[in-house]
Amino acid sequence: MIYVIQTLVDAVSVGAVYALSALGIGLLFGVMRLVNFAQGEFVTIGIYTLMLTVGLWFPLAAILTVLVVVLLALLADRLAFKPVRDADPATMLITSFALSYLLQNVLVLIFGARPIGFNIIPELGLPVMIGEIRIPRLNILTICVAVGLLTGIALFLRRTRIGIEMRAAAVDFRMARLLGIKGDRVIAVAFALTGVLSAVVAVLFAAQTGTAAPTYGLQLALVGFVATVIGGMGSLVGAVFGGMIVGVVTVCLQALLPPELRVFREAFVYAVVIAILVLRPDGLFQGVGSRERV
């Protein structure tokens, strides 16, 4: 029983990181119908920023990481995506791939391709004892941060003017603009929120792995995209649930599979993903992904 509880806490912790990653992809897709694979590099640059500032007071290093990643996201919107915003969706997708590989190779040129180890707060690895159950502090922190951030974004989208404008733009971008909503501002805020989510994922992921490598973000972006598809393209609630499902399934398979089959864990995970999509081709939640982008 103790092992089951510890495994579930680990699963929820990993799922929380995946949920935040998927939510960042879902936000941009909802507003722009853009699957931004360059978001993975936003996470990677956040990890390297944290690595370079790890000697500072941790809250200051985390704030600097958020600022750098948000600025990068806004620059990406301004320089890379705005010029092709009215182009074919395939053009925007290729642009995101191109930006992803550009940023990844710049990181390789600066830092090299090998992982670099660093330690954020050693105390986060210590366990919290609840009876006989040992739960790492990092898992508790990850779950609390994810819940707080998801709640904050939900309130932002429902209670603020710009949040309501973003939701309107996600339903019908053209009509929203005709009603006086400034499309550029809505898209800029969506990119900024994506930057915040990417920075938080970077901090949590760096705390879990203790290393920085140019390919880490791409892995998280792919997982986030899969989670978004499972949840339903265009559904933010679906993106969060999709991320949780992928995280929980991944950790549970790691715990339940025989040792000789654990190397094939990812294959089993994507088999579960295929099974879900066979049963629910449009995802678990109905989104606005099938509507035309303008």
Instruction: Supply 288's token pair.
Output: 């606005």
pLDDT at 125: 74
Q: Which domains does the chain have, with CATH numbers?
A: 2-114+133-279 (1.10.3470)
What distance in Å separates the CA atoms of residue 173 and residue 292, rounded to the nearest whole number?
9
pLDDT at 288: 53
Pairing of strands 116-117, 127-130: unpaired
Q: Which of 195, 200, 198 is nearest to 141 (CA)?
A: 200
What distance in Å separates the CA atoms of residue 133 and residue 44, rounded to the nearest whole number?
33
β partners of residue 133? 130
For helices 216-231 and 39-52, angle between their N-to-C axes, nearest 10 degrees: 140
For helices 216-231 and 89-111, angle between their N-to-C axes, nearest 10 degrees: 150
95 or 293: whose pLDDT is higher? 95
> Can you give the C-alpha Rg of the chain in angstroms?
19
Q: Please classify residue 11 by burial: count the beta carbons closer than 10 Å to its beta carbon, then call 0-12 exposed, 13-18 middle and 19+ buried.
A: buried
Lowest mean pLDDT among 10-19, 117-126, 134-143, 224-233: 117-126
Q: Check if the beta carbon of residue 233 is closer than 8 Å to that of residue 29.
A: yes
* % residues pLDDT > 70 (the chain): 97
pLDDT at 79: 93
The model scores a pTM over 0.75: yes
Where would I find the H helices in 86-215? 89-111, 137-159, 161-171, 173-178, 183-209
